[in-house]
Structure 1
């Protein structure tokens, strides 16, 4: 597309300049309405509510659900789908950039449809579950370990229906998206809101160690291309702000997010140097959100502290329930609910991660990752 060529040609040396240009693009172009030719065979998605597109709808008793109004008010047909958003989430927008209509279907919506093409590994599947984390002890939903076990069944299906060579070819060229870590940090914070430096180091080291195991497990199953979304400055979400006497960001949460993000960067770099064929990109939602908070007017935002939908201080005391109030000018809000971004914010972040410079996706961006055929 022409605007992609324009992004590549501009001397956008600073995060602000790049995001200003991306903001212009978002005000000029509408959402992708249909799929172009897919640039990868399939997308497999793992993670928490930042990536969930409805898996938790199928979990009886789970409190981490969004399959009710006012969620989805800007989704096609204004229907709630289980996304923690007024419309699409970041995974949807990344999928559109890769030639898909939006995120693959949630795995649990297909468990009784064993002959569905998605269950045969075609086009990909979304395993993400709101409330989950890197650690099995985080949350009570579908753990990341369980999500990887689910993928193993898909890998077996592809092999059984085709051949080992075909399965290896398809999976090695597919993209494995991972968006997780925030819930683990919140869980740690809830148990210890004034940890020592030693405790912070041990905690983040444990998270990174577990991520190593998860990524290696996917590699063993054939994954070669990994797209990781880092943890945003979660201390600036409406919920943490509602806990702060001053209404400011909670610095400890942001510090833990930065520590974990640095650890993930080192982890992925190390794996790429030791595992044959291993390729990756880390998309920085952290840097995108910080730029929006620092320069809201540059991107058309009028509110970066209070959620569009919710209740209480900063609309951060409860989620977006049918009884909650919600804003009418949703394009001008950074946050949709107490913890999650709006449709507009997700679109901006996905564009920066997919086509942006190393300030927003490193060591290469997602477009370069999927175009790498070596």
Structure 2
């Protein structure tokens, strides 16, 4: 398995941000978040016909007010926790804002459950905001920003913002790994990976042309070990072939980012490899304070979607489970993953400051 490292460039542009957060002066820090259900905070609630939604009673059970918010978790997403660590409020969902809302100047979350790099990914969810859609909405945001504060001020804000991008899981789970969809039948994995890479290159370049500079792409975790994939094994084991494809995807994207950092002269793109942390947490749950990593806290029916519906049984000891439903990690697991991300950041930047303690149940 590949070793996990966050390139030096991440430390270069993130170290001052961490310092600001520590000094409680991070009010000017702006983050824009693109992704799927792993980072969504409620956009799909505004899509009337979307089947990719989490507005069911048990979602948000460990979130303030214990109500569903559109997050595919019992509590917070990884992006929520990263925002907390940066000392800022988690950006609101784009579709919750008015067209001329001042909130866009403080950051926006465009993530949408079911979204993928490819526009055909997740098509059976009827409505979702693909990565292309999210970039379209971001372009609208840049126009609003320029109208509010002027061209130069908006450009400065966009160049200084941090862009978190977590895309690609659905291109496998809700596309290539579905035998009834065209992509799985007409392409080998190598061909499919090439198509993903070419499309992603265009999307990251478009973000750059719209003003994004400091972009962090979160690599895929071990998808072969999520409950929905384990259910395909007669012995409930991780699917090694799926995990191998994930490793190949991560490697391909990392190489793409290296190329784009040369091609796009002022770009500061970083690949954050989360795979090794994810597989370690699943294979050694006790090391992180968990007891169960091979099934989900919410007892879901994987043959009909795998989401935690209102009639499902939910475990009482949610902090002991790595997975919340058939696809998504629990709030407690998200804390560990976000903590590991920042631990490496601090180590790379030679900071003596420690990140928050690991979840211990």
Q: TM-score range by the shorter chain?
A: 0.7 to 0.9
**Of 108, 132, 135, which residue of structure 2 is paired with 1:125?**
108
Structure 2 equivalent of residue 219 of structure 1: 208
Deviation, structure 1 residue 317? 6.1
Preserved CA contact (<8 Å) 2:55 2:70: yes
Structure 1 equivalent of residue 277 of structure 2: 288
**Of 244, 247, 253, which residue of structure 1 is paired with 2:242?**
253
Q: Which residues in structure 2 correspond to 1:1-374 (within 5 Å)?
A: 36-38=24-26, 41-101=29-89, 103-110=90-97, 113-118=98-103, 121-140=104-123, 141-186=128-173, 187-191=175-179, 199-312=188-301, 318-356=306-344
Query: SS in structure 2 opposite 1:334?
Result: strand
Cα offsets for 1:298-322 (capped at 9, x unmatched): 1111000110013347x99631111
Deviation, structure 1 residue 71? 0.5
Q: Compute the TM-score of the two structures, normalised by the length of structure 1.
A: 0.81
Gaps of 5+ in 1: 1-13, 16-34, 368-374
Query: SS in structure 2 opposite 1:190?
Result: coil
Cα offsets for 1:206-257 (capped at 9, x unmatched): 1111110110000000100001111111110011111111111112221221
Query: SS in structure 2 opposite 1:243?
Result: coil
Deviation, structure 1 residue 354? 2.4
Cα offsets for 1:259-292 (capped at 9, x unmatched): 1111110011111122122112222221111111
CA pair 95-158 structure 1, distance change in 2 beyond 3 A: same
* More displaced stretch, 284-293 vs 230-239: 284-293
Cα offsets for 1:291-349 (capped at 9, x unmatched): 11222111111000110013347x99631111111111111100000000000111111
Query: SS in structure 2 opposite 1:226?
Result: strand
Cα offsets for 1:161-193 (capped at 9, x unmatched): 222211111000101111110111121121289
Q: Compute the TM-score of the two structures, normalised by the length of structure 2.
A: 0.84
Output the CA distance in 2 between the equivalents of 1:347 and 1:355.
Answer: 12
Cα offsets for 1:10-50 (capped at 9, x unmatched): xxxx98xxxxxxxxxxxxxxxxxxx9432763111111101
Output the CA distance in 2 between the equivalents of 1:185 and 1:275.
Answer: 28
Output the CA distance in 2 between the equivalents of 1:345 and 1:92.
Answer: 13
Preserved CA contact (<8 Å) 1:46 1:126: yes
Preserved CA contact (<8 Å) 2:32 2:161: yes
Output the CA distance in 2 between the equivalents of 1:114 and 1:76.
Answer: 27
User: Aligned Cα RMSD in Å?
Assistant: 2.5
Output the CA distance in 2 between the equivalents of 1:133 and 1:295.
Answer: 30
CA pair 190-114 structure 1, distance change in 2 beyond 3 A: closer
